[in-house]
Chain A
Amino acid sequence: MSNQRNVEIVTRPHVENFIEWSADKPEVLVLSADLTNSCEVGKWRDTYPDRFFSMGMAEQNMVSFAAGLAREGFEPWLHTFAVFLYRRPLDQLQMSVAYPNLKVRLVGFLPGITTPGGVTHQAIDDVAVMRAIPNMTILETGDATEVESVLDVAHEIDGPVYIRMLRGEVPRLFPEPMQFNTARVLAVAGASLEDPADLVVLTSGIETEEALRAVPALQDAGVGITHLHVSTLKPFTDPTVLTALRSARSGVITMENHLVTGGLGSAVAEVMAESGIGTPLHRIGLHDTYAHGASQAYLLREYDLDAMSLVQAAGQLLGRTFDIDAADLAPVRIAATHSSAKVEAL
């Protein structure tokens, strides 16, 4: 398979899409905590000034306030950085929003190491925390199509939803919209998902793009790979995932832009254990560490979250050494630091 890809890059897909999507939904409100442009809703604010509420740098109040609006039949969409939605106001999130199962949408930007903002801005434990909250649904976006279609998925859910959102320059990897609790099958080792696979790879968020860089090289090396992209992290009951896990012969690999504790890797481990799937599991992600401020490409390398990490994990599970180096992988896509991608912006 060729390592040349022509990936369409979409600049700030949320901006216009969210405006258009909100037009016929008067119940949709936006609450922001002084990160309006940083969360790509500045134009939304100017388009719907009566439905936009600036809450200041006061996230505890914002979360409980949103609960009151939801109780009155509105659907507040909170836009801020992910870290400020679950670390600082966790009690408010649990007691004001999650316990009463209110339709509050928490749009969390800068998931994991997608920001050079350093430890204070990097949400590396958000999925773990949110998975421990009853009534919460967790969705993660991995491309521009998902940034657009996650709105419909969240809108349909009668309860709180947390979204790991991407901003800036986002690749368009998928033609079809996100479906709730339905993994995308990106590669199948055999003729069908049930057929045995040497390795089953499950990825989420930006890690899917990394996996897509490495999978063709592994396939060229003769490895039978089944690859699924997961966008619903809670609930984690997708039968497609279970079917794929059962097909694994030599191992399962998860890749997540998050700690390996409590996120995708943990969810997969639980399903495997509960279903009696005894294959080794290799979790790619942050291992009991915080990260620091640097570029996404650097951090992916530094913390072994990149495409080459998948090659190495595959080698370990299969007991093979692959003659694959960086040049054999699909090229890295790097957004310029000072560009419309706004990677520098806090």
Chain B
Amino acid sequence: MQLVGRPITLYSEAMAPSPSPDPADIASGIRRRVLAHVLANNGGYLSQACSSAELLAALYGQVLRLAPTDGALHPPAFEAVPGPDSPRVSGGIFHGEPGPELDRLIVSPAHYALVVYAALIEAGRLDEAALDQFNKDGSTVEMIGAEHSPGFETTTGSLAQALSTAGGIALGRRLKGESGRTFVFMSDGEFQEGQTWEAVQALAYYGLDSVRVVVDVNRAQCDGPMDSVMTIEPLTTKLKAFGASAESVDGHDIASLSRALERPTGKPHFVLAYTDPVRGVPLMNKRRPVLHYLRFTGPEERKEYEDFYAQMLLNGSEVVR
């Protein structure tokens, strides 16, 4: 069996997904739902929604070839962690029945869970009532997604392991003769971890061009702006030097994102989506430089966000753009 360099069938019109909601509507819906949730819960991961809304909209609304779900599914209650007497429960069910020619999406930054849930709701795959269970005892709609959480196939709260696992999945799929692609959604902070670079060199070595990675390069991390924590640039140059293909795009331009993600390169492909962590909610500029998690400082700030949300509802997606 020749493994290196085997051509992989890429996107063809015949495999086009059934019509999905307009990606732009998905993106504005993600911001709206996450902001509403942050208001209702007095805090949350809002900047991640602002930076990655278009990226997830491009994936769920345009790029991914997924089987449909039987409507908007209700998340199962937590029963047990995986073990000898309790089989794994996969949040991949929200991506529909897997198939050899269909795509897979592995979400790496598990703290984007709320954003992923919002995207699944906007894509019509998750019941919107699911967010009522967010971070509630006995729920699988967890704050940091695990593999039973909607949209998650792997448990990646300890960052930078998903790319390696996706490589194993892609290699396994190639051994089985599957033509579907394996997408990975990553955050830029994960490029500070050594394992990411181990994974890139292995993906390149085995010519796994079915792996398509989209990175939310929002240049913000837990301690603050990335350049004040540990610089990762020049990312495109580094990835190419490791044997992958890489291109940077405007992470809020859905058409560019989709084009880049579909581009056949014959190599594992990295789409570096440069994003603005306050896009659509400029109020957050006041909170710079630390944007990782929004917790209102008091009733005044809360009121500002409530007013902004009301305006968002009035103006529809205009506010977002």
Which residues in A have some Cβ–Cβ distance to B below 8 Å? 50, 53, 55-56, 58, 60-61, 63-74, 76, 91-92, 95-96, 99-101, 134-135, 158-159
B161 touches A92 (CB 8 A): yes
Enumerate chain B residues within 8 angstroms of A63, measured Cβ to Cβ.
164
Complex Cα–Cα for A97 and B49 (A) = 30
B81 touches A71 (CB 8 A): no
What 1/0 flags go to B185-228 for Cβ under 8 Å of A?
A: 00000000011001101100110000000000000000000000
Smallest distance from the beta carbon of B151 to chain A beta carbons, Å?
16
Q: Is B158 an interface residue (CB 8 A)?
A: yes
Complex Cα–Cα for A60 and B201 (A) = 13
Q: Is B314 an interface residue (CB 8 A)?
A: no
Instruction: Identify B83's interface contact among A53, A74, A135, CB under 8 A.
Output: A135
Complex Cα–Cα for A100 and B154 (A) = 8
Whose C-beta in chain B lies nearest to the C-beta of A54? B205
Instruction: Identify B195's interface contact among A61, A68, A99, A159, CB under 8 A.
Output: A61
Instruction: Identify A99's interface contact among B82, B167, B173, CB under 8 A.
Output: B82
Instruction: Identify A66's interface contact among B88, B168, B194, B195, CB under 8 A.
Output: B168
Identify 22 residue pairs between A and B in the complex whose beta-carbon atoms are under 8 Å apart, listed by A's number. Answer: A53-B171, A56-B198, A56-B201, A60-B195, A61-B198, A64-B162, A64-B168, A65-B164, A67-B165, A68-B164, A68-B167, A68-B171, A69-B168, A69-B169, A69-B172, A71-B165, A71-B169, A72-B169, A91-B158, A99-B81, A100-B147, A100-B155
B168 touches A95 (CB 8 A): no
Enumerate chain B residues within 8 angstroms of A70, measured Cβ to Cβ.
168
Complex Cα–Cα for A134 and B169 (A) = 23
Complex Cα–Cα for A61 and B160 (A) = 9
What 1/0 flags go to B148-164 for Cβ under 8 Å of A?
A: 00000111111001101
A58 touches B198 (CB 8 A): yes
Smallest distance from the beta carbon of B170 to chain A beta carbons, Å?
7
A60 touches B194 (CB 8 A): yes
What 1/0 flags go to B74-114 for Cβ under 8 Å of A?
A: 00000001111000100000000000000000000000000
A74 touches B172 (CB 8 A): yes
Complex Cα–Cα for A95 and B82 (A) = 12
Whose C-beta in chain B lies nearest to the C-beta of A101? B82
A50 touches B3 (CB 8 A): yes
Enumerate chain B residues within 8 angstroms of A74, measured Cβ to Cβ.
172, 175
| Residue of B1, B168, B170, B199 with most partner-chain A CB within 10 A | B168
Whose C-beta in chain A lies nearest to the C-beta of B176? A72
Enumerate chain A residues within 8 angstroms of B168, measured Cβ to Cβ.
64-72, 76
B171 touches A69 (CB 8 A): yes
Enumerate chain B residues within 8 angstroms of A60, measured Cβ to Cβ.
161, 164, 194-195, 198
Smallest distance from the beta carbon of B258 to chain A beta carbons, Å?
25
A158 touches B161 (CB 8 A): no
Enumerate chain B residues within 8 angstroms of A53, measured Cβ to Cβ.
171, 206
Whose C-beta in chain A lies nearest to the C-beta of B92? A71
Smallest distance from the beta carbon of B125 to chain A beta carbons, Å?
21
Q: Is B166 an interface residue (CB 8 A)?
A: yes
Enumerate chain A residues within 8 angstroms of B172, measured Cβ to Cβ.
68-69, 71-74
Whose C-beta in chain B lies nearest to the C-beta of A73? B172
Complex Cα–Cα for A67 and B165 (A) = 6
Smallest distance from the beta carbon of B111 to chain A beta carbons, Å?
14
